[in-house]
Structure 1
Amino acid sequence: MDVLVVDDELVSRHIAAQTLEAAGYNVRRAVNGREALDILLGSSIELVICDWNMPEMDGLEVCRHLRSGTIERYIYMILLTGNDRPEDIIMGLQAGADEFLVKPFNPVELVLRVNIGRRIIEQESRAITVFALARLAESRDFETGGHLKRVSQYCRVLAEYLRFSNAFDGQLDADFVRMVAETSPLHDIGKVAIPDFILRKPGPLTVDEFAVMKTHTVQGAGALAETAAEFPNASFLQMAQEIALYHHEKFDGSGYPFGLAGEDIPLAARIVALADAYDAITSKRSYKEAIDPDRARSLIVSDSGAHFDPRVVNAFLAMEDEFRVIHESFPPAAISGGGLRSNQLLSV
């Protein structure tokens, strides 16, 4: 992530920059507020560490410029200051500062506060991007909204269980759980590129139609890759791309688009695969009735090791009651098309 350090004192500026570079950040430097604004206008930097007291334009003025709409994007502002009186803090907050750090600062504290700012920026970017793209998918499929909510919650339940199991040797943490739940609604974003006569067909797809339908994985990943290029700090889009591209791969290698198998399929995609299939099985469509949860359970279990990762199936069995609660909380609606076909129940 790119960070801008603004300080007229050479030593302080150098220490802050070196500390953040050692923590993995790309750091640009400015000696006053005017130079900082010029850099921000010509870059995509979203996090600034700025000294309060500087010549030409001080930190408060920089904050006011940023909050006045001079720059359209939101920039997270950490103000470096020797002014730690309550009235000074209030003045800084009124100007638009997000956080304060008293000089001389502790390098460890600096990194921790920047890390907090980065997480806030990423969380906001993730929420905005997922919402916008998911609504795009929803506009093509009237049932997608409820489907996305259920799949997101199913993924959260599965990932949370797997996090505390021994199945994946610490591969999952709280960030993974949150990210897979938040990005899973983008799994079918590629369907916006599928013609309506296929997407909403109220019956089985022909071989040729199914071949077109399968391209939604590559189409979706491509669209997310383009979005990631425009928003390089939105690291969550990497997981979103993996989910979109690989959620129809099968554990035994018989899925699409690449026929990956086992551990070659990203874990997030393996989790979404089960969540997506369960929701399709238990949802009513114009060409099929909803299958009851007991029968859905049997179908999932019968595909353990074939379609699904057995460890994800075990998590499903352990948390099946939670799945039923989610299903009842966001009841599916009958629609005229979209979703899985009866002769391709776990394939689309």
Structure 2
Amino acid sequence: MEKERILLVDDEAFYIKVLVELLGSDYQITLAKSGAQALKLLEGEILPDLILLDVLMPGMDGYEICQAIKADARTRDIPVIFLTVKSEVEDEVKGFRCGASDYIVKPFSPPIVKARVATHLALQQSRKALRNSNAQLEQRVQQRTREISRTQDMAIYCMTSLAETRDNETGMHIRRTQHYVRVLAEHLHSHARFSDQLNDEFIELLFKSAPLHDIGKVGVPDRILLKPGKLNPEEWQEMQKHAQYGKEALDNAEREYGASSFLSMAKDIAYCHHERWDGKGYPQALSGDDIPLAARLMALADCYDALISKRVYKPAFSFDDAADIIVKGRGTQFDPDMVDAFVALEAVFVDIARRFADEE
């Protein structure tokens, strides 16, 4: 078993000899005869388990050296025992304020030196073991959290894929719209209008909840959802109910499992992503900033992807034609600043569309 390491910092040959003879058979002793030399040694890869530090040193005194040790994140947890001829209460208080763990007064009592060194090394090993245990526990918690999150993502993906396939859409529509809304949000996070809301947490929730935007389509009859031609007024009115159906499904989940920021954002998206900036959308005819931010982002992303995708009722538009339609909707269908962001990101949208293209 490897011996524990002690750094001895002292400039007096007599005390160095005494301590080396006293502790050398049980521990690995490294010697420094000045503060500068000690701090240089502490820059090395292998750190000591304990530091014995003389208070009265040439150049930097023990208090200054201790403060430097405790100011460095690499060395601050190493216990420091002061070696001193000073035994006044004020001196001890000053040492403890600098971060010292204990005092040994010169001239030494060998049994006391051995006992205190052994005690602080045992405490140090216990602290290391606890830190390692906490780190391992934290890793297991993080791993379990990732597993749970992945399971949730897979469940949401499967559920929303089933909803999308009823509309002759594909799981790739889910992937594309997820990435569209994320790049839009990331582009706008520093914009004065959105910086208060578009933080990392919001954007992550947005990405995870975006697939639920059309979950309410499961409640729309096939004769309407899959109709190849134009819907009549009654059919269109029924089709619009998918926003309400989606909200009700998520309301039920909230009642069953409790409120969460995820469900709250998912409801905003499912219920409001067909609202228009000019107030001519559905189901509530909201306008402007009254439309939830997540829903405004989803509205643009969903519309763009619908335009470039083939549907039973229409062919796919080209990227250029789809972009022209989005730009023409600036200030009417879409939030103007979001359209400006889309224009800046158009090449990124095209790349996402190609990366997650539908299989033929």
State whether structure 2 residue 269 is matched by structure 1 residue 243: yes
CA–CA separation in structure 2 for the residues paired with 1:88 and 1:241 = 42
How far 1:161 moved relative to its partner? 0.4
Residue 133 of structure 1: aligned partner = 159
> Deviation per CA, 1:24-59, whole angstroms, max 9, x where unpaired?
xxxxxxxxxxxxxxxxxxxxxxxxxxxxxxxxxxxx
State whether structure 2 residue 300 is matched by structure 1 residue 274: yes
How far 1:99 moved relative to its partner? 6.7
Residue identity in the other structure for 2:298: V
Distance 1:128 1:311, change over 3 A: same
For 1:29-178, what aligned pairs fall within 5 Å after superposition? Answer: 86=129, 123=149, 126-127=152-153, 130-178=156-204
**Mean Cα displacement is larger for which, 159-168 or 298-307?**
159-168
Quick one: which of 274, 282, 293 aligns to 1:256? 282
Q: Secondary structure at the match of 1:291?
A: coil
State whether structure 2 residue 256 is matched by structure 1 residue 219: no
How far 1:195 moved relative to its partner? 0.6
Identity %: 42
How far 1:303 moved relative to its partner? 0.9
Residue 310 of structure 1: aligned partner = 336
Quick one: which of 220, 227, 230 aligns to 1:201? 227
CA–CA separation in structure 1 for the residues paired with 2:282 and 2:329 = 16
> Deviation per CA, 1:235-261, whole angstroms, max 9, x where unpaired?
301000010000000000000001000
CA–CA separation in structure 1 for the residues paired with 2:170 and 2:156 = 14
Structure 1: runs of 5 or more not aligned: 1-81, 101-112, 335-348
Q: Secondary structure at the match of 1:188?
A: helix
CA–CA separation in structure 2 for the residues paired with 1:234 and 1:83 = 40
Q: Secondary structure at the match of 1:226?
A: helix
CA–CA separation in structure 2 for the residues paired with 1:87 and 1:251 = 56
How far 1:91 moved relative to its partner? 11
Q: Answer whether contact 1:158 1:316 (CA < 8 A) is retained.
A: yes
Residue identity in the other structure for 1:248: H
Q: Answer whether contact 2:164 2:214 (CA < 8 A) is retained.
A: no
Q: TM (normalized to structure 1)?
A: 0.61
How far 1:176 moved relative to its partner? 1.1
Who wins on radius of gyration, i.e. which is larger? 2
State whether structure 2 residue 348 is matched by structure 1 residue 327: no
Structure 2: runs of 5 or more not aligned: 1-124
Q: Secondary structure at the match of 1:287?
A: coil
CA–CA separation in structure 2 for the residues paired with 1:300 and 1:88 = 54
CA–CA separation in structure 2 for the residues paired with 1:218 and 1:192 = 11
CA–CA separation in structure 1 for the residues paired with 2:147 and 2:196 = 26
Q: Answer whether contact 2:277 2:332 (CA < 8 A) is retained.
A: yes
Distance 1:285 1:165, change over 3 A: same
CA–CA separation in structure 2 for the residues paired with 1:265 and 1:88 = 48
Aligned length: 236
CA–CA separation in structure 2 for the residues paired with 1:135 and 1:84 = 50
